[in-house]
A and B are shown apart, each in its own frame.
Chain A
Amino acid sequence: MSRTACRILSARFGRKDGHLLRVYESEGGYRALRRALAEMSPDQVREAVKDSGLRGRGGAGFPTGVKWGFVPQGGGPVYFFVNADESEPGTFKDRYLLDYDPHLMIEGAVISSYAVRSGLCFVYIRGEFGWLVDRVQRAVDEAYAAGYLGPNILGSGYALEMIVHKGAGAYICGEETGLINSVEGTKGQPSIKPPFPAVSGFLGKPTIVNNVETVASVPYIINEGAAAYRAFGTEKSAGTKLWSVSGPVQRPGVYEIPLGLPFREFFHEDLGGMRDGEELKAVIVGGSSVPVLTAAEAMAVNLDYESLAQAGTMLGSGGMIIIPGSADMVELIQVLMHFYWDESCGQCTPCREGTGWLHRIVKRLRKGQGVPEDLALLEKVTQGMAGLTICPLADAAVMPMQSFLQKFRPEFEALIHETAAPRPRSRWSRGERES
């Protein structure tokens, strides 16, 4: 597949007028919606998406059609949410997509809502994206005026209302149950599962939450068919993926590439390699929450779900952070640990206490107050967090922490003065405790 053909999501990227309805329509926009409503039942739409192999692009990578299939067939209200609370450090692909092509998201959201028989769709936009809320709202208004939204869409009898909802600035509201709670007006924090939102979500009714990029992939699948979508990517990682790339490369930015592309090729051909005479030291491939790869590891992977999992990391959100040789890894991890400490909702004890503890230890190291036991302590704290909480935020802090420590240990060790006296320990230690 030629690389230039890979414009499923990015056709209007960088264009000043890409966000306008007339431009979108003139380039075949809303053709898929017309087709889905006129020729396909909701179940047929769902089957097409299932057959396409599309997986959730928000980070977890769960098959989209399968998720839709979890909605009980009862005839009661179903809600559809587009998750545009893009807050993962290093990730800015949804922002880009909404900025340049909001109608692609809207068309995908209407088709997806139709597939799960929803009559109400929320677009939850990260509050810090203030200008984007206005842009999306204008596009929604245009879509209403053109009959792509409202009580009788394109005369099909299908009715859908779309509400653009602005978040209040919490990373955790990107987690789907946190997002639902936020819209319900309660504290933005994840709910305990089960029940899963597909069964009991918004207002206790079946609710599907999909990422912006996920729903934006749907019109192509309807227009061209599942097989055409599968022609991109690999057997298990079908289609294309947006990557937002930051760091000292020649050409940082948002790229759409077919899944399975070798990192080496992407790095040299698309990104143009490093700039400012820097060397590649490490890569965070999928947003700050995934384990870091060394330069050597990165050069050996392909950018798809399976290869990255095999390399011990994750595709995540596609927020790629290129780390140069001059970077101080402990400083970087301090920034990340500050982020997770700040953003932990505080509900589950291991995350609430663990994120703060990790942050304090790393801060201490960087102040030159580290002691030799601190590295083992960091390791131990992560063990008390990983896999033990309601949502994956604790894991999201643990994965970079553990991988930085494991792969760049000498940088941590250099901050510890071997001669420093250990901090006084509690006399109430296990061995000395009187029985």
Chain B
Amino acid sequence: MARLTIDGQEIEVPDGTRLFDACTQVRGEPLPHFCYHPDLSIAGVCRLCQVEIEGLPKLTIACNTTVKDGMVVRTRSPRVQEAAQRILEMHLINHPVDCPICDQAGECALQDQYMNYGLYSAEVEKADKVHKSKAKVIGPHVILDQERCVLCSRCVRFCAEITGTGELGIFQRGDRAEIDVAPGGELANNYSLNTVDICPVGALTSRDFRFQKRVWLLRSTPSICPGCATGCNVRLDHEAGRVYRLKPRRNDEVNGPWMCDLGRYIYKCVHDEKRLASPLVRQEGELRPATWREAAAHLGGLLAPGRLSLALACAHQTLEELVLFRRLAGLLAGSDRVAGTVAGVDLRQGDALLLDADRAPNRRALEWLGLPEARPDELAARLGAGGPALVYGQDPAAADAALAEALGASGGLVYLGTHLNATARLAAVVLPLSTWAEKDGLFVNRQGRIQPFQRAVARPQDAREDWRVLADLLAAARAGEQPSGLAALRRQVAAELGLPGEIDLNDLPAAGLVPDLAAGTPAGGES
């Protein structure tokens, strides 16, 4: 441990701690900075985090300094503040100061630092500024404004050190220096939008989010990306019922501060034109909008105990929903006619960084609950036995032509889902449910980590929350009393999984929780 004094306050930190981080601890806020990023190498180029260290004649940057026992550091002395102001001014002299049309405005480090450490009057007129290229498309997702760039090199280091793809570089020198891709190259790796996140200014912006919404109007809700089995921690930024973007939320146990580009676009499904806004009932061969009461009337004949030829779920539903589905399926179909998901349906190419080959967020929950995978031909064979079928989520009809045919030929298909997809089009009754952005739930990622996510936006019109629909179906099938709320349901889930008593699924730690399941798979108690 090293004992040092920062701004008159004594502090003890482990040996090897970066002075920058020790200063953050004492100050309660970081030193002004652009180039420092805890997950990237030290560049030391923005020169903003200068501090005064007793015994050293010159100011020193804290990001490239390791604490030493007995160090006496000042971060708020007039000399430090004067230097910060001068250096900040250097960052701004050639900046276009086009905040009114810049997407970064409101979450811009340059704006923040100016308000905290700058507040001088401008000395450079527009005509005297160095001009560079603007609105340069450098990849499928990212657009570059070289004039706004402060050349902190975070994006260059990200592509060199995190993805190892090295698309970005700094070309030219002096005040002609600019970030760019090599001629003929493009920033097309699957993590390119992270460069937008770590860009402290409006130089790199997202082509998807650009000009869509001023950031100060957005509200953020913590969530989990449903795009693959990794379960990156994210936040949904939304306003007036609309999700505008996903941003990664740091969880060092899962995704660090990053997420992949595929995940960024997943919110598009929430506002898709194929979203189901009301129940549909097949009448005279055609699916027609209906009320929940009308739909319930049609369900009566189909969902009688023991009648189903097949009850099929998927790995995209929450842990709580799958527990209820298992109860319902056991009651209506009998255990040999229940399947967790269609084998192979979510498998694609993954990578070594974050993206998993398994594009479903909750396969581990299926495993925990003993809901098995089944091949399309196996599923088609079970459907051939006759009787109605229940499909919960995803689009199995799109996965396999023979399975689609069998679903169409079943004695009445009930589809619970969010979109009017191929499976829904084959159904006798369709019940509209919620996407992950519209409900609370738990996913179990590939590590076996239970991670909660929260409802961010409202459901469309007559769509309902999944667990309530499942609970109502259970009640209709006279399965006894169902949980009164999600909290009660989670207590039941914990009990059914045989989780240790001290684990409260309604109050999980910030990093999620990997339960110690000695048996490998939790005991599955039937309801």
Residues of chain A having any CB pair with chain B under 8 Å: 170, 172, 187, 189, 192, 194, 341-350, 352-357, 360, 377, 380, 383-385, 387-390, 423, 425-426, 428-430, 433
Q: How far is the CA of A385 from the CA of B130 in the complex (A)?
A: 18
B50 at the binding interface (Cβ < 8 Å): yes
Q: Chain A residues with Cβ under 8 A from B44's Cβ?
A: 192, 348, 390
A sample of 21 cross-chain residue pairs with beta-carbon separation below 8 angstroms, ordered by A number, consists of A194-B64, A345-B173, A346-B170, A346-B172, A347-B45, A347-B177, A348-B44, A349-B87, A350-B87, A352-B90, A352-B151, A352-B175, A357-B93, A357-B124, A384-B90, A387-B58, A388-B47, A388-B59, A388-B86, A429-B121, A433-B119
Cβ B89 vs Cβ A384 within 8 A: yes
B280 at the binding interface (Cβ < 8 Å): no
Task: State whether A170 and B93 are in contact (beta carbons under 8 Å apart), knowing that A383-B86, A389-B47, A428-B121 are contacts in the complex.
Answer: no
Cβ B94 vs Cβ A353 within 8 A: yes
Cβ A341 vs Cβ B47 within 8 A: no
Cβ A350 vs Cβ B90 within 8 A: yes
Q: Chain A residues with Cβ under 8 A from B284's Cβ?
A: none
- Nearest residue (CB) in A for B83 is A388
Q: How large is the interface on B (under 10, 10 to 19, 20 to 34, 35 or more residues)?
A: 35 or more
Q: Chain A residues with Cβ under 8 A from B119's Cβ?
A: 430, 433
Cβ B170 vs Cβ A353 within 8 A: no
Cβ B86 vs Cβ A352 within 8 A: no
Closest 8 CB pairs of A and B: A384-B86, A429-B121, A346-B177, A356-B175, A192-B44, A426-B122, A344-B174, A353-B90
Q: How far is the CA of A350 from the CA of B86 in the complex (A)?
A: 8
Q: Chain A residues with Cβ under 8 A from B46's Cβ?
A: 348-349
Contact of A428 among B43, B48, B122, B151 (CB under 8 A): B122
- Besides the contacts A344-B173, A353-B90, A430-B121, what 17 more A-B pairs have beta carbons closer than 8 Å? A187-B169, A187-B170, A192-B42, A192-B64, A194-B64, A345-B173, A346-B175, A346-B177, A350-B87, A353-B93, A356-B174, A360-B128, A383-B86, A384-B86, A387-B59, A388-B50, A388-B59
Q: Chain B residues with Cβ under 8 A from A353's Cβ?
A: 90-91, 93-94, 175
Q: Chain A residues with Cβ under 8 A from B64's Cβ?
A: 192, 194
Q: Chain B residues with Cβ under 8 A from A430's Cβ?
A: 119-121
- Nearest residue (CB) in B for A195 is B64
B176 at the binding interface (Cβ < 8 Å): yes
Q: Chain A residues with Cβ under 8 A from B94's Cβ?
A: 353, 356
Q: Chain A residues with Cβ under 8 A from B59's Cβ?
A: 387-388
- Nearest residue (CB) in A for B128 is A360
CB distance from B88 to the nearest CB of A (A): 9
CB distance from A189 to the nearest CB of B (A): 8
B273 at the binding interface (Cβ < 8 Å): no
Q: Chain B residues with Cβ under 8 A from A426's Cβ?
A: 121-122
Interface residues as binary, B55-93 with A (CB distance below 8 Å gives 1, 0 otherwise): 000110000100000000000000000110011011101
CB distance from A78 to the nearest CB of B (A): 24
Q: How far is the CA of A387 from the CA of B121 in the complex (A)?
A: 24
Q: Chain B residues with Cβ under 8 A from A384's Cβ?
A: 83, 86-87, 89-90
B150 at the binding interface (Cβ < 8 Å): yes
Cβ B123 vs Cβ A377 within 8 A: yes
Greatest chain B CB density within 10 A among A343, A344, A350, A423 is at A350
Q: How many A-B residue pairs have CB under 8 A?
A: 103
Main secondary structure of the interface of B (DSSP, over half): loop
Q: How far is the CA of A342 from the CA of B175 in the complex (A)?
A: 9
Task: State whether A425 and B121 are in contact (beta carbons under 8 Å apart), knowing that A345-B173, A348-B45, A349-B46 are contacts in the complex.
Answer: yes
Q: How far is the CA of A385 from the CA of B122 in the complex (A)?
A: 18
CB distance from B123 to the nearest CB of A (A): 6
B125 at the binding interface (Cβ < 8 Å): yes
Q: Chain B residues with Cβ under 8 A from A387's Cβ?
A: 58-59
Cβ B47 vs Cβ A349 within 8 A: yes
CB distance from A365 to the nearest CB of B (A): 13
Q: Chain B residues with Cβ under 8 A from A347's Cβ?
A: 45, 151, 177
Q: How far is the CA of A60 from the CA of B461 in the complex (A)?
A: 75
Q: How far is the CA of A429 from the CA of B119 in the complex (A)?
A: 8
Q: Chain B residues with Cβ under 8 A from A377's Cβ?
A: 123
CB distance from B67 to the nearest CB of A (A): 14
CB distance from A175 to the nearest CB of B (A): 13
Q: How far is the CA of A433 from the CA of B174 in the complex (A)?
A: 33
Interface residues as binary, B238-263 with A (CB distance below 8 Å gives 1, 0 otherwise): 00000000000000000000000000
Question: Which of B151-185 touch A at CB < 8 Å?
Answer: 151, 169-170, 172-177
Q: How far is the CA of A341 from the CA of B94 in the complex (A)?
A: 14
- Nearest residue (CB) in B for A425 is B121
Q: How far is the CA of A350 from the CA of B120 in the complex (A)?
A: 17
Q: Chain B residues with Cβ under 8 A from A348's Cβ?
A: 44-47
Q: Chain A residues with Cβ under 8 A from B87's Cβ?
A: 349-350, 384, 388
Q: Chain B residues with Cβ under 8 A from A189's Cβ?
A: 173
Cβ A349 vs Cβ B122 within 8 A: no
Question: Which of B21-59 touch A at CB < 8 Å?
Answer: 42-48, 50, 58-59
Q: How far is the CA of A435 from the CA of B176 in the complex (A)?
A: 36
Task: State whether A355 and B174 are in contact (beta carbons under 8 Å apart), knowing that A388-B59, A429-B121 are contacts in the complex.
Answer: yes
Q: How far is the CA of A134 from the CA of B177 in the complex (A)?
A: 32
Contact of A346 among B48, B83, B123, B173 (CB under 8 A): B173
Q: How far is the CA of A357 from the CA of B94 in the complex (A)?
A: 9
Cβ A352 vs Cβ B50 within 8 A: no
Interface residues as binary, B107-126 with A (CB distance below 8 Å gives 1, 0 otherwise): 00000000000011111110
Q: How far is the CA of A172 from the CA of B169 in the complex (A)?
A: 19
Q: How far is the CA of A434 from the CA of B175 in the complex (A)?
A: 33
Q: How far is the CA of A344 from the CA of B120 in the complex (A)?
A: 26
CB distance from A408 to the nearest CB of B (A): 23
Task: State whether A342 and B174 are in contact (beta carbons under 8 Å apart), knowing that A192-B42, A388-B59 are contacts in the complex.
Answer: yes
Cβ A350 vs Cβ B175 within 8 A: no
CB distance from A340 to the nearest CB of B (A): 9
- Nearest residue (CB) in B for A423 is B125
Q: How far is the CA of A172 from the CA of B87 in the complex (A)?
A: 21
Q: How far is the CA of A295 from the CA of B7 in the complex (A)?
A: 46
Q: How far is the CA of A346 from the CA of B150 in the complex (A)?
A: 11
CB distance from B499 to the nearest CB of A (A): 49
Cβ B173 vs Cβ A192 within 8 A: no
Cβ A170 vs Cβ B173 within 8 A: yes
Q: Chain A residues with Cβ under 8 A from B169's Cβ?
A: 187
CB distance from B42 to the nearest CB of A (A): 6
Q: Chain A residues with Cβ under 8 A from B128's Cβ?
A: 360
Cβ B45 vs Cβ A356 within 8 A: no
Cβ A341 vs Cβ B175 within 8 A: yes
Q: How far is the CA of A352 from the CA of B170 in the complex (A)?
A: 13
CB distance from A43 to the nearest CB of B (A): 30
Q: Chain B residues with Cβ under 8 A from A423's Cβ?
A: 125
CB distance from B126 to the nearest CB of A (A): 10
- Nearest residue (CB) in A for B94 is A353
Q: How far is the CA of A194 from the CA of B68 in the complex (A)?
A: 14
CB distance from B151 to the nearest CB of A (A): 7
Greatest chain B CB density within 10 A among A341, A357, A360, A423 is at A357
